[in-house]
């Protein structure tokens, strides 16, 4: 009789087989430097494998990190490394792994939400993950856009640095800004090393990673990371600056960093793949159209513990609303919840009162970071508003999410 495919916790011994699987499903070479890179952040005790006759045929892992949400920093299971071998796809293995992983996160009780980046947008809503943030891919014609002049007497100056040698500086700025930046994940030393690792297999024909720091009288206030893909045509230089990250504490720093990136010689394009929907660059340049923005989904959020998650974040205005939630996977979330609170905090408790709105846990995940409008979801028929008590403004936030890394 054919043995059933079983799910079991992963272990450090499974790591080579997991890398082989990830290499197969993501069409990458996960041997050598990529394998070493992944080993630096692998959490064996939070990995889940599907095993068929001794072979690892499916995998997922939840990384232990925090996420900044409106008004709070919340422990968040960062789900990643999801794959099922092509020989075993569409037999419900992902479904089994997602259900088991969510149950384990819920039972552990530490993380009220989970988050992930999806390779394909349609995969995760069925498991309660809602598209909670969007990003802009920018494809900038750098010679066609003008930025305002820098201040006559700038308070800081730019210095090219080795990002690994000056990790402490980068980390300090990141930590100072993180509590306010929706969608940012904390980076301990392992995650900084992972983030800054400059693997040749990830350069896609570009130079090694470069970095610049903006330093004012009281210390560094921002940095940028980028690479350049050199190129020439019959018309001359045609390089592309590939921006990885721009972190700035204030408008002067932000302007200085982008002036620098847009002005790099021998480049005719500047690309950035993690720009926020309210990216200040949109409001700085004279020709935003020449930024070539394309809208793409980014972070998906799953409320694992609905009352805990809803009371963990803050709200833009006073809110007192009853939400009827459906969650076919974590059924303890089913039912009516009264959310009361505002800018200083919130509480959420089970109620028998009648509902103002009805939705699935996926829509709550989509609205959680303040970027997806509840009224918009209602207009799409995804949320049912039963009364005029509309929490759309309360759920929104003054800045859009700006996740800085695909984990």
Ligand X SMILES: CC(=O)SCCNC(=O)CCNC(=O)[C@H](O)C(C)(C)COP(=O)(O)OP(=O)(O)OC[C@H]1O[C@@H](n2cnc3c(N)ncnc32)[C@H](O)[C@@H]1OP(=O)(O)O
**Residues annotated within a binding site for acetyl-CoA:** 82-84, 90-95, 119-120
Of 73 and 123, nearer to ligand X (C-beta) is 123
- Pick the closer one to ligand X by CB: 42 or 315: 42
Part of the chain binding ligand X (CB under 6 A), chosen from 78-86, 141-149, 235-243, 320-328? 78-86
Question: For residue 67, what are its two tokens?
Answer: 């996420």
Q: How many CB atoms lie within 10 A of CB 332?
A: 11
Q: Does 87 help bind ligand X (rule: CB under 6 A)?
A: no
Give the nearest distance from C-beta 298 to ligand X in angstroms: 12
Q: Residues 5, 73, 118, 358: which binds ligand X (CB under 6 A)? A: 118
Q: Least CB distance from residue 77 to ligand X, whole Å? A: 11
Q: Among 245, 229, 249, which Cα is nearest to 237's? A: 229
Binding residue (CB under 6 A) for ligand X from 80, 210, 253, 392: 80
**Is 257 one of the binding residues for ligand X (CB under 6 A)?**
no
Q: Please identify which residue in 18, 48, 67, 93 interacts with ligand X, judged by CB under 6 A.
A: 93
Q: How far is the CB of 22 from ligand X (least distance, A)?
A: 8
Under the binding rule (CB under 6 A), the answer on residue 95 touching ligand X is yes
CB of 76 to ligand X, least distance (A): 13
Output the DSSP codes for 18-80: HHHHHHHHHTS--SHHHHHHHHTT--GGGEEEEEETTEEEEEEEEEEEEEEETTEEEEEEEEE
Q: Across the chain, how many H-helices and E-strands are there?
A: 11, 21
| Residue 82 interacts with ligand X (CB under 6 A): yes or no | yes
192, containing H or E segment: helix 189-196
**185 vs 210, which CB is nearer to ligand X?**
185
Q: In what order do the strands lie in the sheet with 130-131?
A: 6-9, 47-52, 55-69, 72-84, 113-117, 299-303, 130-131
Identified binder of ligand X from the candidate list 123, 141, 206, 358, rule CB under 6 A: 123
The position carrying tokens 């498991």 is 127
Nearer to ligand X, 25 or 310 (CB): 25
Q: Which residues pair with 357 in a beta bridge?
A: 323, 385
Q: How many CA atoms lie within 13 A of 82 on its CB side?
A: 21
Residue among 229, 225, 223 nearest 209 (CA): 225
Report which DSSP code applies to 289. Answer: G
> Is 274 one of the binding residues for ligand X (CB under 6 A)?
no
Q: Applying CB under 6 A, does 119 fall inside the site for ligand X?
A: yes
Please state the residue numbers annotated as binding site. 82-84, 90-95, 119-120
Selected from 10, 70, 71, 81, the binder of ligand X by CB under 6 A is 81
Among 74, 79, 241, 276, binds ligand X (CB under 6 A): 79
Q: Which is nearer to ligand X, 39 or 347 (CB)?
A: 39
The catalytically annotated residue of 63, 124, 129, 254 is: 124
Select the span of 110-118, 190-198, 378-386, 398-406 touching ligand X (CB under 6 A).
110-118
Establish whether 395 is a catalytic residue.
no
Backbone angles phi, psi at 165, to 5 degrees: -65, -30
Q: How far is residue 148 CA from its own chain's centroid? A: 30
Interaxial angle between packed helices 167-177 and 189-196, expressed in degrees from 0 to 180 and rounded to the nearest 10: 110
Of 64 and 155, the one with the shorter C-beta distance to ligand X is 64
Cα dihedral 358→362→368→370 (10° resolution): -80
Q: Is 407 a residue of the active site? A: yes
The C-alpha atoms of residue 364 and residue 306 are separated, in whole angstroms, by 9
- Using alpha carbons, list the distances in angstroms from residue 176 to 67, 99, 171, 264: 14, 36, 9, 28
Nearest to ligand X of 299, 321 (CB atom): 299
Does residue number 40 form part of the binding site for ligand X (CB under 6 A)?
Answer: no
> Which residues from 8-27 bind ligand X, rule CB under 6 A?
25-26
Q: Does 83 bind ligand X (CB under 6 A)?
A: yes
Asked whether position 301 contacts ligand X by CB under 6 A, the answer is no
154 bridge partner residues: none
344 contacts ligand X (rule: CB under 6 A) = no
CB of 236 to ligand X, least distance (A): 40
Residues lying near ligand X in the complex (CB under 6 A) = 25-26, 79-84, 89-95, 116-120, 122-123
Residues belonging to the active site: 124, 407
């Amino acid at each position: 009789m054919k043995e059933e495919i079983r799910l079991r916790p992963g272990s450090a011994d499974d790591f080579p087989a997991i890398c082989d699987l990830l290499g197969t499903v993501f069409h990458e070479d996960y041997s050598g430097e990529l394998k070493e890179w992944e080993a630096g952040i692998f959490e064996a005790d939070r990995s889940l494998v599907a095993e068929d006759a001794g072979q690892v045929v499916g995998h997922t892992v939840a990384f232990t990190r925090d996420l900044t949400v409106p008004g709070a920093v919340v422990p968040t299971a960062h789900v990643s490394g999801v794959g099922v071998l092509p020989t075993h796809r569409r037999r419900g293995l992902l479904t089994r792994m997602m259900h088991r992983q969510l149950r384990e996160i819920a039972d552990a009780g530490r993380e009220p939400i989970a988050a992930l980046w999806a390779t394909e947008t349609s995969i995760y809503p069925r498991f309660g993950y809602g598209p909670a943030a969007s990003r802009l891919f920018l494809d900038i014609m750098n010679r066609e856009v003008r930025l305002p002049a820098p201040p006559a007497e700038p308070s800081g100056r730019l210095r090219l640095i080795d990002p690994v040698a000056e990790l402490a500086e980068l980390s300090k700025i990141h930590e100072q800004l993180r509590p306010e930046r929706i969608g940012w994940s904390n980076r301990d030393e392992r995650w900084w090393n992972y983030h800054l690792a400059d693997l040749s297999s990830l350069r896609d024909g570009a130079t090694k990673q470069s970095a610049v720091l903006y330093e004012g009288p009281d210390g560094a206030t921002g940095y940028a990371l980028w690479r350049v893909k050199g190129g020439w045509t019959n018309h001359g230089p045609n390089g592309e600056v590939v921006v990885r990250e721009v972190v700035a504490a204030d408008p002067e720093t932000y302007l200085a960093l982008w002036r620098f990136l847009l002005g790099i010689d021998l480049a005719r394009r500047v690309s950035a793949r993690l720009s926020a929907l309210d990216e200040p660059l949109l409001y700085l340049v004279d020709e935003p159209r020449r930024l070539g923005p394309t809208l793409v989904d980014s972070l998906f959020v799953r409320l694992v513990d609905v009352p805990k998650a809803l009371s963990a974040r803050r709200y833009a205005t006073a809110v007192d609303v009853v939400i009827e939630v459906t969650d076919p996977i974590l059924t303890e979330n089913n039912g009516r919840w009264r959310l009361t609170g505002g800018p200083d905090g919130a509480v959420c408790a089970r109620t028998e009162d009648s509902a103002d709105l009805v939705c699935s846990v996926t829509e709550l995940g989509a609205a959680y970071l303040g970027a997806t409008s509840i009224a918009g979801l209602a207009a799409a028929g995804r949320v049912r508003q039963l009364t005029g008590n509309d929490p759309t403004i309360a759920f929104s936030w003054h800045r859009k999410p700006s996740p800085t890394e695909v984990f």
